[in-house]
Amino acid sequence: MNDSLQLEVHDVEVQVLTGIYSEETHLPQPLRISITADLDCPRRFDPDTPLSASKNYLDLKRAASDALPAGVHFTLIEAVADHICETLFLGDPRVQRVAVKIVKLAIAEAGESIGMTLVRHRS
């Protein structure tokens, strides 16, 4: 079994054009996005191991924010998650698996988390 490194960024809040109902399609909706990315892992992390042996956590945050195309309407939040996965796969060949959890904040009525999680593996 190979070792793997899981990098995590949780609870990034972004405004995204998404939705299928008329009241959802004209304004961005607030989404809370969490990402876990599994990377190939070196045998050891010594105290002087450079960042290049891992991955900058901000790359995950950017995939959930700045890398989402402005002005594009995603009918489903699953498509938002797919875009985030593809961004991370294309950005680093060491990324082997990505899990993206998206919570739609605007539809919560009593503080519940309503959303989905998409898990993609490098093909």
Tally of CB atoms within 10 A around 88:
26
pLDDT digits (tens, 9 = 90+) for 43-100: 889 999 998 888 899 999 999 999 999 889 999 999 999 999 999 999 999 999 999 9
Residue positions counted in the chain: 123
HEC per residue, 43-66:
CCCCCCCCHHHCCCHHHHHHHCCC
DSSP structure class, residue 71: T
Choose the weakest-confidence range: 29-38, 57-66, 100-109: 100-109
Per-domain boundaries in the chain: 4-45+53-121
Asked whether residue 108 carries a pLDDT value surpassing 80, the answer given is: yes
Query: Residue 12's pLDDT band (boundaries 50, 70, 90)?
Result: very high
Q: For position 3, what pLDDT does the model report? A: 84
Task: Answer yes or no: are the C-beta atoms of 109 and 70 closer than 8 Å.
Answer: no
Query: Residue 24's pLDDT band (boundaries 50, 70, 90)?
Result: low
Whole-structure pTM value? 0.91
- Fold classification of 4-45+53-121 is GTP Cyclohydrolase I, domain 2 (3.30.1130)
| Residue from 8, 115, 18, 32 nearest 69 by CA | 18
